[in-house]
Amino acid sequence: MEKALIIALVNLLLYFRTIYFGYVSDDVERSLRKQEFKNRLHGWWLQFICMKHIHPQVAHFLTIITHTLCCISVYFGLKTFTGLDSVSFITALLFSVNPVNIQGSVWISGRNYVTATILCMLMLIFPPSVPVLYHATSYFAVNAWFFPLIFLFSKWWFMAFSIPVVWLLFKRNRKIMHVKIWDSPVKTTNTEMRSPKPMKIIPFLKTVGYYTKLCIFPWVMGIDHAFLYGFGTNKTDNEKGYNLDMSLIIGIISVLLPFIAYFYGFKWCAWGLFFFLVNIAMWGNYVTIQQQISQRYAYLANVGMMFAIASLIVNYPIIVTIFLTAYIVRLWYHMPAYQDDWWVVEETVGESRSFHYPWVVRGMKKFSMKDFLGAMFDFQQAYKCKPYDFKVLYNLASTSLALGNVPQAEQFLKLAKENMYDEMETDKETPVIKALTEELESIKNQIAKSQTSLQINLARVFAVK
């Protein structure tokens, strides 16, 4: 119990300041939802499952408590399942302060992934409950689809069959899987990203390699990641996705490492790595479920990675201290990125200056505030990073028109149409092309009539992200 209290104290001391943070990204939309509460209990439930945020302090308080309970459950779950007290304790500490987990430990809208992870740890404590708890995870997040597979190399090996049994017996699980793979992603992915085929093993292994690096050495942070961004949307980014590079080598090593570790007698390190692979597999872009890369996808899998590391360094207090110190310092200085929706963009720009998308979001925020000169600067920075991206080109066209530069707006709109994303004819952004085209024609007609004062209808001029 003393170790559980230490874990709780570390979490509360480290994350207490986040209770004064505001809303970030998805939090903003959820705080504005017109959701009716049947009663106070229903209101708390909607807040807990991140369907509605009432007050940022309440929401962040819930997030701190949930992450703290998760870290304690990591300790008890691993200790019960493996019998390794010290390794489980170090794992829980490493996990609690690892910056990669920030979208579960700080970001409100990532709390569902934390709750699902708690249920997974309860499965380790009481294996006979696996089918029930596995089904329950579907009410929170989809990060535990393959979790029961970790029981394969234990006396509870038959619990792995909970996966097909639950999917066959419960319509909800089948529906969620269908929605996540085939319905919701249509808005953000295309056939190239959703279709399983032999060549997709390359981006899969590269993704596994990327998450492996990120969990152990979390130095490239930010709410968005440049890695594989744009894969599936155009020919150039597809070619990058299939390139043979260092991430592929690391991915191959990551897949082979559990077997190598087990062969050389590192049984529990092998189990931790297997835990990691099982729970990161669904996010490997063999079939892209949502966005290509997100830190919250690694939350559950990171339990296994931290356990693998802890099993190797448990007898070396200096190395344990180095890991904990490095993670805490990195987390402490990155944490303010999640204090509001402005800082999360600024920090992401700072983390990845050659990544076009944070510049796009930054410019869009300025565009919405009618700061067109500021928006033009950011979109130009995005253009330097990725001159063939549709959103970058379209936003440059819109901003050029808002600034009254009609020839430049025409030029960028032409380039945007030439660089539309694959399958974009079904995308919700298509109407904005039509609106901007019509507004350009209207301005050209005014010029043809020699009007001295051009009337630009800014209600038809948009920036997209």
Angle at 336 between CA 331 and CA 339, to 5 degrees: 135
Average pLDDT rounded to a whole number, residues 64-80:
97
Which residue, 313, 344, 375, sits at the end of a domain? 344
Query: Other C-beta atoms within 10 Å of 200: how many?
Result: 19
How much is the pLDDT for 426?
A: 45
Confirm whether 322 is domain-assigned: yes
- My answer on whether 132 and 181 are in the same domain is yes
- My answer on whether 330 and 375 are in the same domain is no
Given a cut of 70, is residue 188 above it in pLDDT?
no
- My answer on whether 6 and 113 are in the same domain is yes
Q: What percent of the chain has pLDDT over 90?
A: 53
Q: What is the pLDDT of residues 255-305, one digit of tens each?
A: 999 999 999 999 999 999 999 999 999 999 888 887 888 999 999 999 999
Q: In sequence order, which ranges of 138-245 are alpha helices (DSSP H)? A: 162-169, 171-178, 191-194, 201-216, 235-241
Q: What is the pLDDT of residues 234-245, one digit of tens each?
A: 788 888 888 888
- My answer on whether 164 and 312 are in the same domain is yes
- My answer on whether 388 and 318 are in the same domain is no
Nearest to 308 by CA among 341, 266, 338, 265: 266
How much is the pLDDT for 443?
A: 72
Q: What is the pLDDT of residues 119-135, one digit of tens each?
A: 999 999 999 999 999 98
pLDDT band at 181 (very low <50, low <70, confident <90, very high): low
Average pLDDT rounded to a whole number, residues 47-68:
89
Given a cut of 90, is residue 428 above it in pLDDT?
no
Average pLDDT rounded to a whole number, residues 107-115:
93
Q: What is the CATH number of the domain that holds 407?
A: 1.25.40.10
Q: Domain residues for 305?
A: 2-344
How much is the pLDDT for 190?
A: 65
- My answer on whether 300 and 422 are in the same domain is no
Query: Other C-beta atoms within 10 Å of 327: how many?
Result: 21
- My answer on whether 432 and 284 are in the same domain is no
Q: What is the pLDDT of residues 336-352, one digit of tens each?
A: 999 998 899 889 988 88
Span between the terminal Cα atoms of the chain, in Å: 48
How much is the pLDDT for 451?
A: 59
Which residue, 344, 373, 402, sits at the end of a domain? 344
CB of 269 within 8 A of CB of 308? yes
Average pLDDT rounded to a whole number, residues 2-31:
92
Average pLDDT rounded to a whole number, residues 151-161:
92
Average pLDDT rounded to a whole number, residues 10-37:
89
How much is the pLDDT for 25?
A: 87
H-run or E-run covering 283? none
Given a cut of 90, is residue 77 above it in pLDDT?
yes
Nearest to 223 by CA among 108, 389, 326, 327: 108
Total number of domains constituting the chain: 2
Residue 155 Ramachandran class (φ > 0 left, ψ -120 to 50 alpha, else beta):
alpha
Q: What is the pLDDT of residues 321-379, one digit of tens each?
A: 999 999 999 999 999 999 998 899 889 988 888 899 999 999 999 988 899 899 999 99
Confirm whether 465 is domain-assigned: no
Confirm whether 96 is domain-assigned: yes
CA dist 320 and 90 (Å) reads 8
- My answer on whether 409 and 340 are in the same domain is no
Average pLDDT rounded to a whole number, residues 402-421:
84
- My answer on whether 275 and 423 are in the same domain is no
CA dist 428 and 404 (Å) reads 26
Mean per-residue pLDDT over the chain, rounded: 87
Given a cut of 90, is residue 453 above it in pLDDT?
no
Which residue, 281, 312, 344, sits at the end of a domain? 344
Lowest mean pLDDT among 12-16, 310-314, 432-436: 432-436
Residues 6+ apart with CB under 8 A from 438: 460
CB of 295 within 8 A of CB of 307? no
- My answer on whether 180 and 251 are in the same domain is yes
pLDDT band at 91 (very low <50, low <70, confident <90, very high): very high
- My answer on whether 20 and 115 are in the same domain is yes
- My answer on whether 368 and 261 are in the same domain is no
Confirm whether 44 is domain-assigned: yes
Query: Other C-beta atoms within 10 Å of 316: how many?
Result: 11
Average pLDDT rounded to a whole number, residues 374-400:
91
Q: What percent of the chain has pLDDT over 70?
A: 91
How much is the pLDDT for 450?
A: 64
